[in-house]
Amino acid sequence: MGKTIIEKILGSHSGKEVSPGNIVDIAIDVRAARDFGGANVVKNIRDNGLSVDDAKKTAFTFDCNPGGSDQKYATNQQICRDFARQHAITIYDIDAGIGTHLAIDEGLSLPGSTFVSTDSHANILGAIGAFGQGMGDVDIAHAFAFGKVWFKVPPSLKIILKGKPSSQASPKDITLAMLKKLGANGLLGYAAEVYGDIVDDLNLSARITIASMATEMAGIITLFPPNQDVIDHCQRASGTPIEPLKADEDAIYASTIEIDIEGLTCQISRPGHPEDVVAVSTLVGQKIGSAFIGSCTNGRFEDMQVAANILKGKKVAPGVVLKIVPSTDKVWRKCLDEGLIEIFKEAGALVGNAGCAGCAAGQIGQNGPGEVTISTGNRNFAGKQGKGEVYLASPAVVAASAIAGTIVTADSIPAEPVLFAKQESTSTGSMAEKGVDNSDKPVTFKGRVWLIDKDNIDTDMIYHNRYLTITDISEMGQYTFDNLEGWEDFAKKAQPGDIVVTGKNFGAGSSRQQAVDCFESLGVSLVIAQSFGAIYERNAINKGFPIVTAGLTSSGLENGQEIEVDLQAQTVSLPTGETVPGAFSEVQMNIYRKGGLLNG
């Protein structure tokens, strides 16, 4: 009985003749973990007392957040680096690029090989006729430790692309046409092999684009029998002769699906659902606020070249942000050597270092509430890459749209970009105009003391920078002092009306307003310090939050005692009955009474 491509690969790596439905242990030629998930792989290995089966077949790829601009990513990366040094594991660090692309371009994976990663798009390896699979932390830890994982042999489908698309259409448009036909679950549980009139002419970049979105069709993998372009690439990358891998002529498929791409035009996915595909022509004129070119789907040099050809000599529309992220450092350098980076920068684009960009909450490509983005990515699920709306299209359509300011095709860019309409002010007037009277705000406070006998408590200790994206004051209180040693649980113990007493230079460091607002969020009445950082002092005064200057850390106060503060009299009454000065200036009082500097 003939075998499909997936059956041949899994059979050769399990040492058994396999059929759909069989569950077999398969040897994994390359086992990778990303910065997203890698730390959990390490934890699983350490917690279970395991080691590494073969360091030469094992790697970390830091592609989700190159640069570690997020504290949690930076921590995860460092955990992986420490583990890699201990076990002599290769790291493709923040300057390398997307792990699945590196597996192909560095010759780690070859046609017929097996590759697993903590990346749901590891099935990109189907572009070269290899088995690639995204797996969870436990699976990858097992592959690290034992060199194999169990897998259920999937049934295979044969997809036949019929006809030839229009000259405007790209591999991304073919992919979107497949999505439209197959839907979000049309490949669920299947391995698909792709054939048809144009398939042998598809280069590696085109095959990567199509293979990368098998995940969005719920497929195990989309496989291409290697053509000469793929064979040549893999031989150069690995220095190893490549034997083409093809299905047997009498291989058995669960079904054959024909997809008509004759005359196919530019396609686009509407926000929220990659499979909600329509012709770009139906959305021409949709205003955009940002555009993104990159991702594992469209970050190859060929994609960059298409975009550069359209952007050359033109400018991104006013008010529109164009972000471009090549897939690997080699692609980035080729873009630099061939002048593409200069074209991008002259056009007004932001060019990021190689990586996945906005996926997995990465550092480039997120959008904000209400923002409309057109992207070459593979997913536009709600919230996946921000709080706005994301359309998916080809590099050509994205580049053209960035210039136009609206969704367009490359042959219909208007002579003048479409600008944002002027919006009316949403200001609703001052507090005084609203009739809010703050003249009766309390000037005396009685509350429980939290004595923090430390000097130079900086704003990162008060409210760490990892929370700076929070804008809702009601959410800020929970993070107060969680970076101050010994006081990490302050927010859980504090109660409304409490008073913080501390030493010199409270609030040293940054200008972050959150280091004041977090106390308001908790209901803390006021902060008393021997002195305050200059910016912090202004922030508190201008917000109308009471801060009092008094040296109380050596007064004999203890946690939990009650004190009374009179802002008008500028005094602090201690539990002993003693009254000491507590400076609160006339300027502070005026701003405090009106509820802040901006209130009238």
Contact call for residues 199 and 228 (beta carbons, < 8 A):
no
The helix/strand/coil state of 539 is helix
Query: In whole angstroms, what is the distance from residue 36 CA to residue 470 CA?
Result: 22
Contact call for residues 259 and 159 (beta carbons, < 8 A):
yes
State how far the alpha carbon of 180 is from the alpha carbons of 165, 239, 510, in Å: 15, 39, 50
Cα angle at 134 between 132 and 136, to 5 degrees?
A: 145
Q: Which two tokens stand for residue 350?
A: 């932001």
Q: What is the pLDDT of residue 435?
A: 45
For the chain, which domains are there? 5-260 (3.30.499.10), 267-412 (3.30.499.10), 444-593 (3.20.19.10)
Q: 197-227 burial, b for 16+ CB within 10 Å, e for fewer?
A: ebbeebbbbbbbbbbbbbbbbbbbbbbbbbb
Measured in degrees and rounded to the nearest 5, phi and psi for residue 12 equal -70, -25
Q: What is the pLDDT of residue 439?
A: 59
Q: What is the pLDDT of residue 426?
A: 58
> What DSSP assignment string belongs to 502-528?
E-SSBTBS---THHHHHHHHHT--EEE
What is the dihedral angle through the alpha carbons of 272, 273, 278, 281, rounded to the nearest 10 degrees? 30
> What DSSP assignment string belongs to 158-219?
EEEEES---TT--HHHHHHHHHHHH-TTTTBT-EEEEEETTGGG--HHHHHHHHHTTGGGTB
What's 137's DSSP letter?
A: H
State how far the alpha carbon of 592 is from the alpha carbons of 413, 426, 546, 597, in Å: 55, 26, 7, 8
Query: In whole angstroms, what is the distance from residue 64 CA to residue 362 CA?
Result: 5
Query: In whole angstroms, what is the distance from residue 563 CA to residue 553 CA?
Result: 13
Contact call for residues 115 and 147 (beta carbons, < 8 A):
no
Q: Which two tokens stand for residue 78?
A: 């460092």
Measured in degrees and rounded to the nearest 5, phi and psi for residue 333 equal -65, -35
User: Taken in order 458, 459, 464, 466, is the CA torsion positive or negative?
Assistant: negative
Instruction: Compute the chain's Rg from CA coordinates.
Output: 30
Query: In whole angstroms, what is the distance from residue 37 CA to residue 30 CA?
Result: 17
The helix/strand/coil state of 323 is strand
Contact call for residues 307 and 391 (beta carbons, < 8 A):
no
Write out 258-308 in H/E/C secondary structure.
EEECCCCCCEEECCCCCCCEEEHHHCCCCECCEEEEECCCCCCHHHHHHHH
Q: Which two tokens stand for residue 65?
A: 């957040």
pLDDT tens digits in sequence order for the chain, 600 residues long: 899 999 999 999 999 999 999 999 999 999 999 988 899 999 999 999 999 999 999 999 999 888 777 778 889 999 999 999 999 999 999 999 999 999 999 999 999 999 999 999 999 999 999 999 999 999 999 999 999 999 999 999 999 999 999 999 999 999 999 999 999 999 999 999 999 999 999 999 999 999 999 999 999 999 999 999 999 999 999 999 998 899 999 999 999 999 999 999 999 999 999 999 999 999 999 999 999 999 999 999 999 999 999 999 999 999 999 999 999 999 999 999 999 999 999 999 999 999 998 887 777 878 989 999 999 999 998 887 888 999 999 999 999 999 999 999 999 999 999 999 887 665 555 444 444 555 579 999 999 999 999 999 999 999 998 898 898 999 999 999 999 999 999 999 999 999 999 999 999 998 999 999 999 999 999 999 999 999 999 999 999 999 999 999 998 999 999 999 999 999 999 999 999 999 999 999 999 999 999 986
Q: Which two tokens stand for residue 336?
A: 């630099």
User: Taken in order 364, 370, 374, 380, is the CA torsion positive or negative?
Assistant: positive
Give the bridge partners for 452, in sequence order. 502
Q: Using alpha carbons, select from 155, 159, 42, 162 the residue that is nearest to residue 91.
A: 42
Q: What is the pLDDT of residue 428?
A: 52
The helix/strand/coil state of 309 is helix
Contact call for residues 389 and 283 (beta carbons, < 8 A):
no
Q: Edge-to-edge, what's the strand order for the sheet holding 90-92? A: 90-92, 58-61, 30-34, 114-117, 131-134
**Which amino acid is located at 267 in the chain?**
Q
